[in-house]
């Protein structure tokens, strides 16, 4: 990277739709700021957007970094790059071509380099082996591509059309030889010579033709396997920074958030990087704690009347009120448990919902039965976590571990991390991801003429345009909405004008605005808290629409996959029901809260626009996929599409099938561990020590089983990325495949039937 500060020599392109990529860019940008390196951070929505912005780069840009994008595309071809235009003054074109033919890409001197930090696979081999301008940050997956590498280098050195010409010339030579043999020799001798010739060793031309066919087949098999994600880009960036000695708890927390955001779909990826993140956390946290204790002791020794008891208390730095450290913990897969009610955390959890079928009456009765078995009343379950009984909070882990095995909820508690925020409290990595994801997906309140958002009041009320006195907070029967859920303070003219302004905003602008909200929230506690409130309403939307889809039987089976098509009547009539939860953030006594924690509920009223957000549509598809995976014996991938009435197109997402990781031994260990906890609480010290020893043995067994479990997990491959491309070429339809996640496509309404028929035909061979 250039160290010239007078001008910008570095551009960083970041995918807008990936929390992992956003965390990576945050780490890298913070380091560059610290080093006073001028750079330009450019969020991109898709490949077309990336190409347009790449073409507009100044010629002074010497380094381009792609984060969360670029690994699966032939960048040199797509971006129309001619590397000879970027040769260094002391490097001739002939010399560069000679080094390129020898495979010495690193020796080609260029004035611009492109660095790819992307965990999406499969690699485009042209990026790895065919371009001196592109450098890929690999996770050692390229070391396993020996066959593909050999095939790639062999084929790029074969002239185009050589295989066909050789085959034709070889056939003509055989015909001439056969005619000559027939004229000069009798029939018996001719047959003998033909037989001997067939038994001879293959000629050089035949060998070449056979190798070309084999190598073509090897590369085609590699590219046709489907798309996946092998490593978090945030983990790669953190490793890169740690190599140069830039380590901090803040960077590690960003790596944790980026990795945790992938767990819902890519269990294997998160389980693979978790041990390394935990070890790094323990090392950094112990160093920070030791440094804090030394500073505190030094300050007390310089002060007067320092008490011995206070110094002893400070040895546990993790419990200090001003601590902002990081620690590993057992994390709940319940939705925002520590920031919502216990009942709603269970009810809106994707995992609990898929296992207990909470969209049905039987499932809801089962949830109440679960609370009854744990000894938790519904009154307690509907209390906000902050006001829940302290004794119940302390023993909640034991209660859950004791009962979840009976309801097949073996993954309610998982390994995770928690970040302390001083006097504010702490936030788990899972809750943090939900908040940042909600800010990324959230459509901001509609703007005024000058582009600024309308000023917000408590409970989402707005000021009147005519400057009339606003309503008093906490007034009985007044929450800023009429009986139909509409804002009473907005007049019709203002709404029409605002609607026109909103329609003029493009999708790309909305997605980029969401990127900056999520980017800024990574170091803003207040923004994360606000994101949690948004996440609650979005999760309610997903649950309501998912339940409606299941109950109406809208999930259909097409050969090797399931399909859900949300037609015009479903998307245009969708709205989000206002929550009736007695949440302190939205009730009438919320006047004491800060405005940054208040969410405008009305902005979630247009469900049609939410269906056109690929993040929301993918989340809805994953919700349905989890439910279907538990209902069906066979695990099938899912295709979900939503209609856009404004453009008369369908946005379609293909999601890979889920794999089940249920482990009976783990269930037994969980039950044994809960028994050990109960024994320790009820018995004396002697039995308590015995229970601790048993607990230690069980924990060791669980660690061993979890490590074996990670190895046994299969890589999730999304074959829809290949199917979409093949079908669109086969039936010759106009479609838009612009997403960095290649299993997302947008096509016209009239082409939907042909597209589904084509998918059904090809899925017989590929899924």
DSSP line for 593-613: S-GGG---GGGG--HHHHHTS
Whether the per-residue pLDDT at 488 is higher than 90: the answer is: no
pLDDT tens sequence across 283-298 = 887 766 655 555 555 5
Instruction: Please give the pLDDT value at position 161.
Output: 57
**131 has pLDDT over 60:** yes
pLDDT tens digits along 719-734: 898 899 889 888 888 8
The pTM score is 0.79
Which tops the pLDDT comparison, 152 or 570? 152
Q: What is the pLDDT of residue 303?
A: 52
Least confident of 524-528, 616-620, 629-633: 629-633
The token duo for 750 is 């009239």
- pLDDT-wise least confident of 39-43, 111-115, 471-475, 609-613: 471-475
Find which of 143-152, 448-457, 515-524 is predicted with most confidence, using mean pLDDT: 515-524
Give pLDDT, residue 766: 65
**Is 300 contained in some domain?**
no
Q: Cα(745)–Cα(652) distance, rounded to whole angstroms?
A: 5
Domain with 764, as residue range(s), is: 542-661+713-767
In a domain, 153, yes or no: no
Q: What is the pLDDT of residue 99?
A: 87
> 324 falls in which pLDDT band (50, 70, 90)?
confident
Number of domains in the chain: 1
The reported pLDDT for the residue numbered 715 is 64
Span 740-766, average pLDDT: 87
Pairwise CA distance, residues 268 & 264, whole Å: 10
Q: Would you state the pLDDT for residue 442?
A: 85
Whether residue 760 is contained in a domain is answered as yes
Residue 592 has pLDDT above 50, yes or no: no
**738 pLDDT more than 90:** no
Specify which of 45-54, 323-332, 631-640 reaches the highest per-range mean pLDDT.
45-54
674 or 115: which leads in pLDDT: 115
Residue 749 within any structural domain of the chain: yes
- Is residue 612 one of the residues assigned to a domain? yes
Q: How confident is the model at residue 74 (pLDDT cuts 50, 70, 90)?
A: very high
pLDDT in tens, 88-100: 998 889 998 888 8
- Report pLDDT digits (tens) over 345-397: 999 999 998 888 898 899 999 999 999 999 999 999 999 998 888 889 888 88
CA dist 250 and 419 (Å) reads 10
Q: Which of the four pLDDT bands, split at 50, 70 and 90, describes residue 37? A: very high
* SS3 letters across 213-280: HHHHHHHHHHHCCCEEECCCHHHHHHHHHHHCCCCCHHHHHHHHHHHHCCCCCCHHHHHHHHHHHHHH
Alpha carbon distance 377, 382 (integer Å): 9
Residue 690 lies in a domain: no
pLDDT beyond 90 at 508? no
Beta bridge partners of 564: 640
Confidence grade of residue 236 (pLDDT, cut at 50, 70, 90): very high
The region of weakest confidence among 254-258, 329-333, 400-404, 615-619 is 400-404
pLDDT the model gives residue 42: 96
Rounded mean pLDDT, 417-443: 91
* Average pLDDT value for residue range 573-597: 40
Are the C-beta atoms of residues 256 and 428 closer than 8 Å to each other?
Answer: no
As a whole number, the mean pLDDT across the chain is 76
């Amino acid at each position: 990277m250039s160290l010239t500060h007078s001008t910008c020599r570095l551009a960083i392109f970041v995918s807008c739709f990936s929390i992992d990529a956003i965390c990576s860019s945050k780490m890298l940008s913070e380091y560059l700021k610290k080093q006073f390196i001028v750079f330009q951070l450019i969020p991109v929505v898709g490949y077309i957007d990336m190409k347009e912005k790449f073409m507009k780069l100044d010629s002074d840009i010497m380094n381009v970094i792609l984060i969360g994008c670029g690994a699966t595309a032939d960048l040199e071809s797509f971006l129309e790059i001619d590397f000879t235009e970027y040769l260094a003054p002391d490097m001739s074109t002939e010399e560069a071509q000679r080094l390129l033919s020898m495979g010495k890409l690193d020796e080609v001197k260029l004035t611009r380099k492109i660095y790819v930090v992307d965990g999406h696979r499969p690699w485009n081999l042209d990026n790895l082996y065919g371009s001196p301008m592109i450098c890929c940050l690999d996770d050692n997956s390229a070391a396993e591509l020996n066959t593909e590498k050999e095939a790639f280098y062999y084929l790029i050195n074969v002239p185009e059309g050589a295989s066909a010409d050789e085959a034709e010339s070889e056939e003509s030579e055989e015909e001439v030889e056969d005619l000559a043999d027939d004229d000069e020799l009798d029939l018996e001798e001719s047959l003998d010579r033909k037989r001997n010739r067939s038994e001879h060793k293959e000629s050089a031309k035949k060998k070449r033709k056979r190798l070309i066919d084999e190598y073509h087949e090897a590369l085609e098999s590699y590219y046709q396997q489907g798309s996946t994600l092998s490593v978090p880009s945030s983990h790669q960036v953190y490793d890169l920074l740690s190599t140069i000695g830039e380590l901090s708890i803040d960077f590690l927390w960003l790596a944790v958030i980026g990795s945790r955001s992938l767990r819902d779909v890519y269990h294997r990826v998160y389980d693979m990087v978790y041990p390394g993140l935990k070890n790094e956390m323990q090392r950094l946290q112990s160093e920070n704690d030791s440094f804090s204790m030394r500073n505190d002791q030094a300050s007390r020794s310089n002060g007067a009347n320092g008490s011995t008891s206070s110094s002893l208390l400070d040895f546990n730095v993790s419990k200090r009120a001003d601590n902002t450290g990081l620690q590993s913990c057992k994390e709940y897969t319940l939705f925002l448990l520590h920031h919502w009610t216990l009942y709603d955390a269970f009810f809106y959890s994707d995992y609990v919902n898929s296992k207990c079928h909470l969209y049905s009456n039987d499932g809801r009765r089962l949830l109440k039965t679960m609370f009854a078995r744990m000894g938790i009343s519904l009154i307690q379950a509907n209390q906000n976590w902050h006001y829940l009984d302290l004794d119940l909070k302390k023993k909640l882990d034991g209660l859950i571990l004791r009962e979840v095995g009976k309801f097949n909820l073996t993954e309610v508690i998982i390994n995770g991390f928690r970040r302390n925020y001083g006097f504010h409290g702490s936030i788990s990595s899972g809750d943090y991801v939900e908040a940042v994801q909600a800010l990324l997906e959230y459509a901001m309140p509609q703007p005024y003429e000058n582009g600024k958002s309308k000023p917000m009041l408590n409970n989402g009320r707005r000021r009147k345009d005519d400057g009339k006195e606003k309503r008093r907070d906490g007034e009985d029967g007044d929450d800023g909405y009429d009986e139909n859920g509409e804002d009473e303070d907005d007049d019709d003219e203002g709404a029409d004008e605002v609607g026109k302004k909103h329609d003029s905003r493009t999708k790309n602008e909305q997605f980029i605005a969401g990127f900056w909200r999520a980017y800024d929230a990574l170091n803003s506690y207040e923004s994360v808290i606000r994101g949690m409130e948004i996440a609650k309403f979005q999760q309610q939307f997903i649950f309501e629409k998912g339940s409606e889809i299941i109950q109406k039987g809208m999930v259909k089976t097409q050969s090797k996959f399931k399909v859900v098509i949300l037609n015009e009547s479903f998307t245009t009539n969708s709205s989000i029901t206002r929550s009736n939860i007695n949440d302190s953030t939205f009730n009438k006594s919320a006047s004491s809260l800060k405005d940054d924690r208040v969410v405008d509920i009305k902005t979630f009223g247009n469900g049609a626009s939410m269906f056109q957000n690929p993040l929301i549509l993918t989340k809805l598809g994953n919700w349905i996929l989890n439910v279907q995976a538990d209902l069906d014996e066979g695990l099938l991938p899912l295709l979900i599409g939503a209609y856009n009435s404004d453009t008369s197109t369908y946005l379609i997402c293909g999601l890979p099938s889920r794999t089940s990781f249920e482990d009976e031994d783990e269930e037994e260990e969980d039950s044994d561990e809960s028994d050990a906890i109960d024994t320790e609480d009820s018995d004396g010290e002697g039995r308590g020590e015995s229970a601790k020893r048993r607990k230690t043995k069980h924990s060791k067994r669980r660690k061993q089983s979890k490590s074996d479990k990670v190895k046994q997990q299969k890589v999730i491959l999304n074959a829809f990325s290949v199917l979409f491309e093949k079908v669109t070429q086969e039936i010759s339809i106009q479609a838009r495949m612009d997403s960095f996640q290649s299993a997302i496509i947008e096509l016209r309404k009239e082409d939907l039937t042909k597209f589904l028929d084509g998918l059904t035909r090809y899925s017989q061979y590929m899924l």
